[in-house]
Structure formats: structure tokens, C-alpha cells
Structure 1
């Protein structure tokens, strides 16, 4: 009986160690901090703009990996429900005086990230053939966990 108890305790300890070593990650299921919108291809006005603050306490390069950068929040900053058409692209970008980053969980469940793909140090992501569905958008601050004023742009015409 002692052996069975020891094995059970060892397994429990391993599970607890593994769980405590897990990096905190973004949870797209949480309520977005700055709201949400439903848009269909051809919407007006274009661009659709949202004022928010970039940043958070989670390092996206550790929690998501790949080419994701910047410090972001756990909950999405903004949620877009998008109905794609057949002609126009979807462009999500950020404008800020700070060095910002962009992390988007797309309708396909994949993470899309950009650092300086827009104007200056601003990020921009473009889908030439966008998917219909939910886009959970995180606006990060590069290099520090500070919060900075930023404008999120959702457009089918231009990067902001």
C-alpha cells in the first residue's frame, strides 16, 4: 500500500510542477477590454477606429512565441466579428507615438503577429483573402509592460 501511495504522490507532484511552469497566455474567450464590433465587407465608415491603450503584463514572445512581440494583456483589447466578401482585403493596424505591436487570434485559431509592418514603429496585418469569423485583437507595447495611448484601425482600404 505504501508503494501505491508513493507513486500517486509522485504523479501529483509532477502534475503540479508542470502546471506551475506553464507560461501565462492570452485567453481569447475573455471579454474584450475596449469592446467589439460586427462588420461586413464594404462597411462604412472605413477605417473603423478605436481609441485604446496598448500594453499589458504578458510577454507575447514567451506566451505565444513565433514572431510575436510586445507586452499584451490576457484578455483581448478588441473583438471583430467579420463577414468577408470576395474582393476586399482586411487590414488591422495601430497608430501610436509609442512602439506598438499587434497580436491577433484569427477565425482559424491561428495567432498572427506584427511589430513594425505599418508606418514607422506601428504594426499592421493584412489578409488579402480574409476569413469570415471572430478576430481577437491584442495591441502590445514593445520592450516594456507600460500602457500607451493608441488607435486601432480596421480597414479594407489602407493601413493606418
Structure 2
């Protein structure tokens, strides 16, 4: 029995720790939006990237990201899609921890090395967002939040 417990403890210690912590306060603030929000598209400029490799997260995440979320959107869903985009002069990615606790990631779907994560049937709740940067630690980027395709 002791050997089994020691083996289990060794396996847990060897598992990579996730550096992204959605429980931390977002570095660049937060916003509360309801379906049909007036300021569509919402845009926030900040410095994306960080020291952590997003590839350690579940799914096809890429890019270097910070530990705390860059931004948090608390959203009251309606029937429209909810779309997140990154815009930058460098290759950016998006890493989002959704209200369901799942990780959603993208690299290059918006074109020109920018990312897009689209929720066709968004849930109400908090979306914690990291803008990742490929090939460097940090870069200026703009987060775009919209319900318009």
C-alpha cells in the first residue's frame, strides 16, 4: 500500500504544473457585457505575452503568456455569437478559460498571424483571456470583443 501511495505521489509531482491561473486578478482589467452591448466592438490595447509556454495547457494552445489573465469579460449571453480576436504587428495567439472551465485556444484563424476564438452559443459567465505571443516574450496587442461576425 505504501508503494502505491509513493508511486502516485511521484506521478503527481512529475506532472507539469499549469502556470495560467484564472483565479488571479486580470492584469489589464475587466468588463461586464450583456448580449447586444453598445460598444461593439469593444477594443482594449495592452502588452500581450509572458514567460509561460501555453503549449502546457490542454488543447492546441501556443504562444508565450503570463500567469494571471490579461483581461476578463463577464458576459450575460443572448442568441448572438461572442467573438474574441487578437490584433498585432506580430504573431499572436488567444488562450481563453471559459465559464465552463475549459481552455479554448487559437493561432492565426483571424488571418495575418492574428487569432480568433468564436463561441457560436456563448455561455453566461467569466471569460479569462490571455493574448499569447509567438517567438518572443511580449508585444503590443489589441483585444477585440464583438458579437458581429
**How does the TM-score come out when normalised to structure 2?**
0.90
Give per-residue Cα distances to partners, 1:74-121, cap 9 Å, x unaligned: 1000000000112x1100001000100000000111100000010310
Give the Cα–Cα distance (whole angstroms) in 1 for the partners of residues 74 and 20 of structure 2: 18
Question: Structure 1, unaligned stretches of length 5 or more?
Answer: 1-6
CA distance in structure 2 between the partners assigned to 1:21 and 1:137 by the alignment: 24
What is the CA RMSD across the aligned residues, in angstroms?
1.9
Give how far 1:19 is off.
Answer: 2.8
Per residue, is there more strand in 1 or in 2? 2
Count of equivalent residues: 147
Q: What does the per-residue CA deviation read over 1:19-52, in whole Å, with 9 as the maximum and x for residues that have no partner?
A: 3653342110000000000000011111001111
Partner of 2:27: 33
Match in the other structure for 1:3? none
TM-score, normalisation: structure 1: 0.84
The answer (yes or no) to whether the contact 1:71–1:141 under 8 Å persists in 2 is yes
Runs in 1 of length 4+ with deviation above 6 angstroms?
Answer: none
Give ranges in structure 2 of 5+ residues lacking alignment.
none
